[in-house]
Structure 1
Amino acid sequence: MSTQTSLPVREIVVVTGASTGIGAATARELAKRGFHVLAGVRRDVDAAAIRAPNIEPVLLDVTSEPEIGALAKRLSEDPERRVLRALINNAGIAINAPVEVLPLSEWRRQFDVNFFGQVAVTQALLPLLIRHRGTVVNISSVGGKVALPTYGAYAGSKFALEGVSDALRRELAPLGVKVIVIEPGGVKTEMTGRGIVTAERITSKMSDEQRGRYAALMQAIISQAETFTRKGMSAEDAAKVIVNALTSKRPRTRYTVGRDAAIFVRLARWISDRMLDGLVARDIKNYLPA
């Protein structure tokens, strides 16, 4: 794979969800390679933490139309007339609970951030990306290929992002814009910890009947997530995969990040649903409370 290691600061890359984790690591890796990064964060304290040479924090909630509009205006009025090289749609949250017990308000919040927010930012920046023949990088997940128990809302949002990425890639190819999907597996980020807290909060509100059905499963899923995160690759290594894909002259349409993601994606492609169900069930059984 061919990559560029240094560039004049004549190109801008927008990274959403850059407060922590993969987003922050990707912003720093891009800055190191000579891009000017507009790093989307939600709080002033996060802006102060990410600010660095070649990294310009911008307040950006991907569910806020005014903040998305302000970002588009900032780019169109760039004082140095820099090229918009890429948009990296990384913002995301994880909400895990069985389909039966997850309130519809939480389903909507999951999709607002992980799917509709990505579409909104993409729509706002596409005119510039088309003009500059840039690249859209959508950070999906292995959960966009394989939906584990309790991951219905999260996987649903990522499956949707995978589908819209295919449509977008085919729409924009004649216009010279590339679309790349990144599918991370276990990565050491704060998002997993926040997802576990959310899962525990939702579990505590289940009825006694629901708790009898799902409490053990929820404990197993939380324990499994903690293990995957602990053994996962660093956010910095994940960022290198993303930036290498972005700077490749002929990028693939999809990249997995981590050994676990590569295995799951291949299994989903080559074995039957029933066989995959059995493998998933056996793995979860290892984490069930005694």
Structure 2
Amino acid sequence: MTVSSENELVVITGASTGIGAATAREMAQRGFHVLAGVRRDRDADAIRAANVEPLILDITNSDQIRALASRVSEDPQRRPLRALVNNAAVQANVPIEVFGIEQWRDMFEVNLFGHVAVIQALLPTLIESGGRVVNISSVGGKIAMATYGPYAGTKFALEAMSDSLRREVAPHGVQVVVIEPGAVRTEMLGRAIANAHELLAAMTPEQRHRYGGLVHAVNAQAEASTKSGLPAEAAAAVIAKAITARKPRTRYTVGREAALLPVTRLLPDRLLDRIFAAALRPHLPKENARLDSAPTRR
């Protein structure tokens, strides 16, 4: 069974492209009025459509978050807030040693603290409407492969925050759902690869010697898996289910890789290290083909 979509609001952050944009279109087609958070005017123009109202929203900007909360609470049609979908994210696959501490802080600002700020701003309205919070995590919220440390760190934290929030607000009628996508074809991968190349160019010669082959292999592997991954619309359909199911699950996975997550929890860490290293081996430059001799971080 699903909840009614008549005269209800859905807020989606990070709706410029990819999963966020696809979810905005999906929910609009189902009759919800979507407040789609984007960062640029041209993105707003691109996504504006029937039942899709773009809002300029940088989730690290407190003034824009307050403006979003006011738009929701002062809705001219007094529509209840059905769901907040926290989708905004940034990614860079880079070794921990070479990712500057300020870059770590910036990634946590977007991938965790910004979501917390939006939740805090909209939670009173969600409690009033009996709505729900849908947090978009990742396979990286359960498994931290080599060079995924910063990104996975934010997603592990998002998963933990979601669990705690779910237990806090359930007595008040608010449901919290986590979505864990695997390989999905979105623009974020291209940005992550570009970021990795910039960081690689900024490494010292010693760091490039240590990590150059690894970064190349990880990016090649990610690009190959994403080409065969699901379209963003497939993820949007799962998110729509999480929003509309009368009794949603606490977690939904998207794609084959994510569906295998329970299996990985049964394996010893050292075995996972070897599995991940072996999976990277075909993508290594020839001069780095001995990567499997080094353990993969977890």
What TM-score range do you get, normalising by the shorter chain? Answer: over 0.9
> In 2, distance between residues paired with 1:204 and 1:171?
45
Q: Does 1:289 align with 2:285?
A: yes
CA contact (8 A) 1:184 1:257 kept: yes
The answer for the alignment partner of 1:58 in structure 2 is 55
Match runs of 1:9-20 below 5 Å:
10-20=7-17
The answer for the alignment partner of 2:186 in structure 1 is 189
- RMSD (Å) for aligned C-alpha atoms: 0.9
> In 2, distance between residues paired with 1:92 and 1:21?
11
Match runs of 1:119-138 below 5 Å:
119-138=116-135
Q: Does 1:118 align with 2:118?
A: no
The answer for the alignment partner of 1:148 in structure 2 is 145
Identity of aligned residues (%): 59
User: Given residue 141 of structure 2, which amino acid in structure 1 is its aligned partner?
Assistant: G
How much does 1:289 deviate? 1.2
Deviation digits for residues 170-199 of structure 1 (CA, Å, limit 9, x no counterpart): 001100100000000110000000000000
> In 1, distance between residues paired with 2:17 and 2:236?
12
Number of equivalenced pairs: 286
Q: Does 1:7 align with 2:5?
A: yes
The answer for the alignment partner of 1:218 in structure 2 is 215
> In 2, distance between residues paired with 1:278 and 1:266?
18
The answer for the alignment partner of 1:68 in structure 2 is 65
CA contact (8 A) 1:95 1:106 kept: no
User: Given residue 276 of structure 1, which amino acid in structure 2 is its aligned partner?
Assistant: L
> In 2, distance between residues paired with 1:7 and 1:207?
55
Q: 1:280 aligns with which of 267, 276, 289?
A: 276
Q: Does 1:231 align with 2:228?
A: yes
TM-score (norm 2): 0.94
TM-score (norm 1): 0.97
| Partner secondary structure for residue 100 of structure 1 | helix
> In 2, distance between residues paired with 1:277 and 1:191?
26
How much does 1:245 deviate? 1.6
> In 2, distance between residues paired with 1:7 and 1:262?
29
Q: Does 1:44 align with 2:41?
A: yes
How much does 1:3 deviate? 3.7
> In 2, distance between residues paired with 1:142 and 1:252?
17
Q: 1:244 aligns with which of 241, 244, 264?
A: 241
Q: Unaligned 5+ residue runs, structure 2?
A: 287-298
The answer for the alignment partner of 1:253 in structure 2 is 250
Q: Unaligned 5+ residue runs, structure 1?
A: none
How much does 1:267 deviate? 2.7
How much does 1:11 deviate? 0.3
Deviation digits for residues 35-94 of structure 1 (CA, Å, limit 9, x no counterpart): 000000000000000000000000000000000000001111111000000000000010
> In 2, distance between residues paired with 1:273 and 1:133?
41
| Partner secondary structure for residue 138 of structure 1 | strand
| Partner secondary structure for residue 246 of structure 2 | coil
